[in-house]
Amino acid sequence: MKVTRYLALLALPIAMVVAAACSSEPQPAETAAPAAAPAPAPMATTPRAFFAEPADGATVTSPVKMKFASEGVMIMPVPEGVVTSVRPGMGHYHLAIDTECPADGTEIKKGEKWIHYGKGDLEADTQLSPGSHELTLAVADDKHMQMPGLCKTITVTAK
């Protein structure tokens, strides 16, 4: 019994070796070890924030429907109560009109041009007066500090 089982266990690897040896592939060593290829890091993309809508340069009509988007960061509601620490890799969106991106690491203060989407909102409407406007989308952490690289400004023209 034991010998039979042992032979059965040997049969599969032997069959694989034989198959590899008989293969007409020019580089059997590479095809035999696909698991050795390095897996891409999960956060390989450079984090970024952008508007899925409207498009940069678009002509829009109020109320303007905006869809926020990002890569390399998780958009989450700010925790309830007093926030004493931030959750790495997590943030929420902020919007300002005709205002530049904050410097990385600076606080986006409430009530100073910025709307905080602290519930983790992924879209919002805004009213624009007729003319050209800059829309700035920023992602900040649980303490509302601008996260590096996660800000984007686009220009739209409101009718």
Q: Give the binding-site size for Cu ion (rule: CB under 5 A).
A: 3
Task: Please report, in angstroms and rounded to a whole number, the separation of the first and last CA atoms in the chain.
Answer: 84
Cα–Cα distance, 95 to 54 (Å, whole number): 13
Residue 144 interacts with Cu ion (CB under 5 A): yes or no: yes
Residue 90 interacts with Cu ion (CB under 5 A): yes or no: no
Q: Which stretch binds Cu ion (CB under 5 A): 13-21, 44-52, 82-90, 109-117?
A: 109-117
Q: Pairing relation of β-strands 131-140 and 48-53?
A: unpaired
CB 86 within 8 Å of CB 107: no
**Smaller CB separation from Cu ion, 60 or 102:** 102
Q: Which stretch binds Cu ion (CB under 5 A): 30-38, 46-54, 65-73, 143-151?
A: 143-151
Q: Which stretch binds Cu ion (CB under 5 A): 20-28, 43-51, 82-90, 113-121?
A: 113-121
Residue 116 interacts with Cu ion (CB under 5 A): yes or no: yes
CB of 122 to Cu ion, least distance (A): 15
Count of CA atoms in the C-beta half-sphere (13 A) of 124: 20
**Smaller CB separation from Cu ion, 144 or 152:** 144
Give the residue among 60, 66, 59, 74 at the shortest CA–CA distance from 95: 66
Residue 152 interacts with Cu ion (CB under 5 A): yes or no: no
CB of 56 to Cu ion, least distance (A): 24
User: Given phi > 0 = left and psi -120 to 50 = alpha, else beta, which region is 7?
Assistant: alpha
DSSP secondary structure letters along 19-75: HHHH---S-HHHHT-GGGSPPPPTT-SPPEEEEEESPTT-EE-SSEEEEEEEESSEE
Q: Which stretch binds Cu ion (CB under 5 A): 17-25, 43-51, 52-60, 110-118?
A: 110-118
**Smaller CB separation from Cu ion, 69 or 145:** 145
Question: Which residues of the shown chain bind Cu ion in the complex (CB under 5 A)?
Answer: 116, 140, 144
